[in-house]
Amino acid sequence: MRKFHKKRQIQKHALRAKVKKGLSEKNTINIALAGNPNVGKSVIFNQLTGLSQTIGNWPGKTVERKEGHLEFLGFHFNIVDLPGIYSLSTYSLEEIVSREYIISEEVDVIIDVIDATNFERNLFFAFQLLELEVPVILAINLCDILNKRNMTIDFKKLEEIFKLPVIPCVAIHGRGVHQLLEEAIELAVYHHPHAHYSRRGRRMHEHLSHARRTREIYNKELNMDLKPKNSFQFPDLKPILKLGKEVENKLEGLIGEIRKFDNYFSKYNYPQRFIAIKLLENDKEIKKFFQNNDKTRYIIDIAKNYRKELEDFHGEDINTIISSEIYNKIHKITELVLISEVEKEKKKTFREKLDQITTHPFWGYVILALILLGTYFFTFEIGNLLGGYLEDLYNIWSSQIYDIYGEDTLGVKILWDGVVGGIFGAVGGVLVFVVPFFLIIEILQDSGYLPRAAFLLDKFMHFLGVHGKTIIPMILGFACNVPACAGCRIMETQREKKISIVLTSLVPCAAVLTVVMGLVGRYLGPLYVALLFLINFVVIIIVGKILNKTMPGKSTELIMEMHEYRAPNIKVILKQTWLRSKEFIFKAMPIIIILGIVLELLLMFNLLEPINVFISPITFLLGLPLITGIFLLYGIIRKELTLVLLQELANSLGLTIPMLLTPLQMFVFSLVTMLYIPCFATIIIIARETSWKYALKIALLEILVALLIGALVYWGSTLILSFF
């Protein structure tokens, strides 16, 4: 594999100048990364696009769209990371979105990322891509792990079988990643093999012939064989895609009928054979093509009769019949290309031992508890240390500013207390806790531990009406509820998705963590922090149990891959940590600064009291000072604002937080902040994933729960303390 990647930098810089000579009409290539979940698509995406990424939703859909850009060898690449799917059926919204995009005019090349350690199953998706007749590159990822299992793949043989470019990769370390781009250039620009039969248009081969010849000559000069010697040719799909005799006879009959309306079906961009297969499988989206035209509806009846004949003949449903025949071909291919080397000793590797102990029925839970506690203490200690330094620095500088310019002047109040105080509060009170926490989450995710946590907690999560996969968005919820609630779309059913969203929205995010750490942790100690989390998790269990009993339906079983452990890639982890942290820096900090200025103006013109009087019934119910009411409202925008602005208020009044709140009030204030509705951005995400009606129900439920528990804790504690 190494021979594919040596002299990479020399080749890249040398080719850039030569290849650009041939570019004048078309230098943008659109690539879609496709494949099963957890095969390394996102790692390749991050390696290629770096920080130039945008995340949004597909038009009119709730499915997340990740897009990035880069420049390479004079070309501009637009790369879309498609949702991880197992097939091109239409059982889920992710599958529909992926299938529609793959056959659209937008994409030039599909990179199908295949997990080498689950080679046979991943090839099923590759077979379906071949049926779509799209330009495909096979990226065989995790080759290093396969080699450690004393196995290897004959990549040359695999290319001969599929007649497609096959690139071995170790995406986590960047090996093979840039060669994918080189193959994409070859496929999309130099000799687009599908141009004469696909509807993506013609490529300008002649005008780029000089650049191609120059590249081949220069490769020879460098003694490199970056591209396999057999030039990529239009693949003859019939031998490899041909199914059993009975199925093929039915398909030929359907294709014959579809061919009669070729002008009508051509607008859908799907090949005739693919339409026939999906019609035979009773695909709802494909059936719409026929139902929309009176002349073609009879073909649905023909497909129905064919389907019944095949099911009666084989004694299985049609999906099982077709899948079985595809897997039979895949099994034969695997026997040809997957080579097992003789093991000298049957000793367990360190990764295998680590996997065994972290999924152990006893020690696995011990390790999980230690990891969660370790994450908490690491975040607490780092944040407390850095936050303390920044607070001392701000106090020293404030004294100097007040001595020079005075404490009550308008400029000092707005610029120093409002702007600078807001920045110090955001960084010293929030960011110092957020960044370490994001760092730990990324390490756990990149190393492969999170699927083990899902496996361990599967039985417990069934008690709440979902399966173990829910624990992944819930753990991510400790970082931020917004992507965590969006991540609940991985659930198989609407019932599980809705329950998972409620449970995930109750998980204390990093913003809440900063309030808890900066208030209760700093002034009351870690035992009270542990008590807060205990109450929070009891609430999650009770709410989950109630939803499981009241919401119709049952939870499904956990189906999830657990890849081998791997050494975390520091570069990738730091990049992802920055991507998560910069959202706070660029989105939250401006809001904090603006609200800090507003707070100073409210204080100067005595406007804070009327607002707090309006909210006084709530603060009285919770036993909180009147002045804290407005901060609970600010928490709806972002939870960390409750602490930051509370600290700013204390500084403006020349007080400390312990002078404003008693220990019990600190505890109740943090508890209510932890339990009542997540930030407004989370409510919007929940509405997008479900509906506004459901999102508002969740918001109302969590407000009532927070007020009820907060009031019980305050007045119950007050009553108990009065006896002593």
Produce one character per residue of 59-98: b if its CB has 16 or more CB atoms within 10 Å, e if not: eeebbbbbbbebebbbbebbbbbbbbbbbbbbebebbbbb
DSSP H helices, 427-565, are 432-447, 450-456, 458-463, 471-477, 481-486, 494-505, 510-515, 522-523, 526-550
pLDDT higher for 671 or 438? 671
Cα gap 4→42, rounded to integer Å: 22
Q: Which residue has the higher pLDDT, 429 or 353?
A: 353
Which of 268, 201, 193 has its CA nearest to residue 233?
Answer: 193
**What is the chain's mean pLDDT, rounded?**
77
- Return d(Cα 345, Cα 503) in angstroms, integer: 47
Per-residue pLDDT at 234 exceeds 60 = no
Q: What pLDDT, on the 0 to 100 scale, is given for residue 78?
A: 92
Q: Is the pLDDT of residue 233 over 60?
A: no
23-32, 65-74, 364-373: lowest mean pLDDT where? Answer: 23-32
Contact (Cβ atoms closer than 8 angstroms) between residue 122 and residue 159: no
Which range among 176-190, 207-221, 588-602, 703-717 shows the weakest confidence by mean pLDDT?
A: 207-221
From CA 41, how far away is CA 93, in angstroms rounded?
19
**Residue whose C-alpha is closest to residue 542's, from 502, 593, 586, 592:** 502
Pairing of the two strands 166-168 and 136-141: parallel
Tokens of 629: 């009411």
42 has pLDDT over 50: yes
Q: How far apart are CA 106 and CA 115, in angstroms?
A: 26
Average pLDDT of the residues in 56-84: 78
For 218, residues 6+ apart whose C-beta sits below 8 A from its C-beta are 11, 14, 15, 18
Tokens of 589: 């900090």
The SS3 assignment for 299 reads helix
* Res 359: pLDDT: 81
pLDDT digits over 253-306, tens only? 999 998 888 878 777 888 889 999 999 998 888 888 888 888 888 999 999 999
Residue-wise pLDDT tens digits, 194-206: 433 333 333 333 3
Nearest C-alpha neighbor of 564 from the set 110, 170, 203, 139? 170
Angle at 178 (CA atoms; ends 175, 179), nearest 5 degrees: 90
Confidence of residue 618 (pLDDT cuts 50, 70, 90): confident
Please tell me the distance from the alpha carbon of residue 676 to that of residue 618, in angstroms, as a whole number.
13
Predicted confidence at residue 709, as pLDDT, reads 92
pLDDT at 93: 73
Residue 409 has pLDDT above 70, yes or no: yes
Residue 204 is predicted with a pLDDT of 31
pLDDT of 168: 92
Residue 611, exposed/middle/buried by CB under 10 A (0-12, 13-18, 19+)?
A: middle
Mean pLDDT of 156-179: 87
- pLDDT more than 90, % of the chain: 10
**Angle (nearest 5°) at CA 237 between 236 and 241:** 150
**What is the chain's alpha carbon radius of gyration, rounded to the nearest angstrom?**
30
CA distance 102 to 492: 23
Contacts of 389 (CB under 8 A, 6+ apart): 428
Q: Which helix (H) or strand (E) holds 56?
A: strand 53-57
The predicted pLDDT at position 33 comes to 94
Q: Is the pLDDT of residue 516 over 60?
A: yes
Position 377 confidence tier, pLDDT thresholds 50, 70, 90? confident
More confident residue, 480 or 331: 331
383: which residues sit within 8 A by CB, 6+ positions away?
A: 432, 433, 436, 514, 517, 518
What tokens were used for 284? 């709802």
Q: Dihedral, CA atoms, 581, 586, 592, 598, nearest 10 degrees?
A: 180
Are the C-beta atoms of residues 62 and 489 closer than 8 Å to each other? yes
Mean pLDDT along residues 123-139: 90
- Give residue 596's pLDDT: 65
Domains of the chain, start order = 2-233 (3.40.50.300), 242-340 (1.10.287.1770), 363-553+573-723 (no CATH)
* 3-class DSSP assignment, residue 401: helix
pLDDT of amino acid 563: 65
Q: Nearest CA to 560 among 640, 693, 488, 470?
A: 470
Q: What is the mean pLDDT of residues 105-119?
A: 90
Q: Span 514-539, mean pLDDT? A: 85
Taking a C-beta distance cutoff of 8 angstroms, is the pair 448, 566 a contact? yes
- Alpha-carbon gap, residue 520 to 672, rounded angstroms: 13
Three-state SS at 580:
helix
pLDDT-wise least confident of 46-55, 502-511, 514-523: 46-55
Whether 137 shows a pLDDT value over 90: the answer reads yes
Q: Is the pLDDT of residue 31 over 90?
A: yes
Place of tokens 């300008």: 204
Q: Which residue has the higher pLDDT, 456 or 177?
A: 177
Predicted pLDDT of residue 190 = 57
Q: Which residue has the higher pLDDT, 487 or 44?
A: 44
112, pLDDT greater than 90: yes
pLDDT surpassing 50 at residue 230 = no
- Helix 318-337, helix 272-280: angle, nearest 10: 120
Residue 466, sorted as left (phi over 0), alpha (psi -120 to 50) or beta, turns out to be beta
Read off the pLDDT of residues 301-320 as tens digits, 9 standing for 90 and up: 999 999 999 988 888 888 88
More confident residue, 186 or 18: 186
Span 614-625, average pLDDT? 85
Q: Please state which of the ranges 241-255, 541-555, 575-589 shows the lowest mean pLDDT.
A: 575-589
- In angstroms, rounded to a whole number, what is the distance separating the alpha carbons of residues 191 and 211? 12
Instruction: Tell me the C-alpha distance between 497 and 491, whole Å.
Output: 5
Confidence of residue 591 (pLDDT cuts 50, 70, 90): low
